[in-house]
Amino acid sequence: MPKSSKVTQLEHSNEHVTESVADLLALEAPMDYKSSQMSMNMAGGGPPPIGKPDISPDLEDGRPAWNSKLQYILAQVGFSVGLGNVWRFPYLCQKNGGGAYLVPYFILLILIGIPLFFLELAVGQRIRRGSIGVWNYVCPRLGGIGVSSLMVCGFVGLYYNVIIGWSIFYFFQSFQYPLPWSDCPIRRNGSQAIVEPECEKSSATTYFWYRETLNITSTIADSGGLNWRMTLSLLGAWIIVCLAVIKGIQSSGKVMYFSSLFPYVVLFCFLVRGLFLKGAVDGIAHMFTPKLEIMLEPQVWREAATQVFFALGLGFGGVIAFSSYNKRDNNCHFDAVLVSVINFVTSILATLVVFAVLGFKANVMNEKCVVENAEKILGYLNSNVLSQDLIPPHVNFSHLTSSDYAEMYSVIKIVKEDSFAQLGLEPCLLEDELNKAGAVQGTGLAFIAFTEAMTHFPASPFWSVMFFFMLINLGLGSMIGTMTGITTPILDTFKIRKEVLTVGCCIVAFLCGLLFVQRSGNYFVAMFDDYSAGLPLTLVVILENVSVAWIYGTKRFMQDLEDMLGFRPHTVYFYLWKYVSPVCLLILISASVVEMAISPPGYNAWVQDLAMERFQSYPPWALAMCFALIIVAMLPLPLVFIARHFNWIPDGSNKLSVSYRKSLTKEASTLEDETRFILGKNPSEAPSPMPSHRAYLGPGSTSPVELITNSTSISGYGSGYQTNPAPPKSES
């Protein structure tokens, strides 16, 4: 008899044996996890009977498994650490108080990030299904959570791979010296050579991005046709993704060894190189100088919560899909904390790198400003517009420093107060250049600001190749998780060959992605980024939290975790899941709706004649498209709820893997043997089996005695499970 058996524990007690049996089999017994839907794949009682090998669930149902714990951790890190860590977090940090921004970010990481990440890891590992199967199993009426999650993954994957395509284009363009975005192109006008006006009005890197790369139109209504270079880059990106995920985790797991680790090598190389650049320390100091007065603003906390939310990949289904290939006794609590900390440290590391490089760029631009304005002052001195007496005697125009220019500028401004504006002199403050450099994010940071900084590096092509190869790997890690979040639920639900499904998804996605490689495609990328994921994904995670904490029951979930992990998670998780996280998420979604309502829907269009961006409102058809993205992503939630409520569709819980059936049989037979041992009955004296519809062991079952003694119906589990179970009653 296993030592952990309740029968053994009560064998020497003073209570009557029938009371022990009743306690063992009662629905509200301390070991009520036997009636838990999420506990069905848990082996019951102890070691298997002698003569029967302990078959792992991975072998029982043929479900793939990670080759090692390292491979799994790298997959989760690769999925959560993406492009946003490099080009979104540094911008938010600079915008929202510098080092002070880290305080609300870290607090919200503790309150909503780690608990919800732990929750997704736990349900995926426990139920061993993709997002659709997991939420069908936890609460059938909220089964639309998985479908909405899958649709958001689809929307995000469509435009996210376009960014990888852009990185591929820049990667191959980097194999030349000088870099093609180092200087403005020269246009020949007869015998006269002139600088391209659009480039002269902006900058070489800005011109290369908008004109040479995107060849962008001035409005979203003007498609401009396909950009063939971007089309080929997108095709290459989808081929890479397809090859990485075609064999499931068998192929993607091996890719993760490189795609997850290589970005850290590049970031450390950039950090070491950046620290030796002039002005790097100024950039880092500017970044981490706390602005405490900004930290208390609600906008800062809202943006910090949003960044925490998306940085960990919550709600996408990739986290659940990856964890579903784990052993069921894996310590997912440790994984949740580890991956969250790695994600946070990576964001700080990327911020150090970005602002070290941008500090160098700001220093270069400030020196250029000083030189240009010093030449203006010399011109005014030679034309007697300014008197030589205004120039301090220690100033040497041959070696003019920023401090010398600042002193000269202040004197001239005071003396020539009335006519100073006509001189056209600029203050050339390093602080202004740092603010200007840190005010860019997203594609503006990666393809304009950072590329411009790298043109001033020695051996600039090498650093450019490294940088864009890093972006490709960061994007690839996130795309592998996104594709796994799409394919795993489909493979769990339908019997389709993995390779056929993967290739089919990639082909369809490439054809849909042609929308983003038109000349106006960048505007659609911005549209999908703003509307396809934010609101639907926040609602998905709220419902995930509610379905586990309030419908399934927080106490029951904690018990399941104790059975699975071998220890009970800290009580703080009970209150975080039940109260804190739902309240924080409700505040976040309310703030997001308000922000969306007060912000005019529109996009930043590149105006070729002015060589600058200008905000434009969406035309009616584009506005309808924005709201359609939100509605389509959230539509499965009410549709599935209504359909399940009126029993128009099956609840989906009958689609169990073989491991569920075998572990359930093993669990029930162990308890049956213990019951017979206590009662002293032979198998022939055992109660007669009940009808097969009592095979379901969920919380909706009413008679655990009938349920456990029903060995006949359990062996015929496939047919007996067709009856729709009642949804779990909250035990919180």
**What is the mean pLDDT, run by run of 10 residues, along the chain of 732 residues?**
41 40 38 39 36 36 78 90 85 79 89 93 90 89 90 92 94 90 82 82 87 90 90 94 86 84 90 85 81 79 86 89 88 93 91 86 84 84 80 78 82 79 81 71 77 85 92 91 90 86 94 93 90 88 92 90 89 92 90 85 86 88 92 93 87 49 49 51 41 35 37 33 41 46
Question: pLDDT at position 508, please?
Answer: 94
Cα 359 from Cα 323, distance rounded (Å): 40
Is 474 annotated among the ligand-binding residues? yes
CA dist 335 and 318 (Å) reads 15
If DSSP codes are grouped into helix, strand and coil, which group holds residue 187?
Answer: strand
pLDDT tens-digit map of 547-583: 999 999 899 999 989 988 888 899 999 999 999 999 9
Determine contact, residues 650/724, Cβ cutoff 8 Å.
Answer: yes
Q: H-helix or E-strand containing 192?
A: strand 192-195
Q: What is the CB neighbour count within 10 angstroms for residue 440? A: 19
Q: Is 724 left (phi over 0), alpha (psi -120 to 50) or beta?
A: beta
Look at residue 226 and give its three-state secondary structure: strand
Q: Is 679 annotated as a binding residue?
A: no
The reported pLDDT for the residue numbered 718 is 33
710 is in an annotated binding site: no
Note the pLDDT of residue 168: 95
Whether the Cβ atoms of residue 139 and residue 727 lie closer than 8 Å to each other: yes
Give the pLDDT of residue 717. Answer: 30
- Whole-prediction pTM: 0.78
CATH architecture of residue range(s) 119-365+436-653: Up-down Bundle (1.20)
Residue 691, both tokens: 């009808």
User: H or E stretch including 381?
Assistant: helix 332-382
Question: Residue ranges of the domains in the chain?
Answer: 119-365+436-653
Could you check whether the bond before residue 728 is cis, i.e. omega within 30 degrees of 0? no
CA dihedral angle for residue 240, residue 244, residue 247, residue 251, rounded to 10 degrees: 150
Burial class (CB in 10 A: 0-12, 13-18, 19+), 194: exposed
Q: Bridge partners of 593?
A: none
User: Is position 343 annotated in a ligand binding site?
Assistant: yes
Would you say 162 is a known binding-site residue? no
Query: Was 378 annotated as part of a binding site?
Result: no
Residue 428 Ramachandran class (φ > 0 left, ψ -120 to 50 alpha, else beta): left
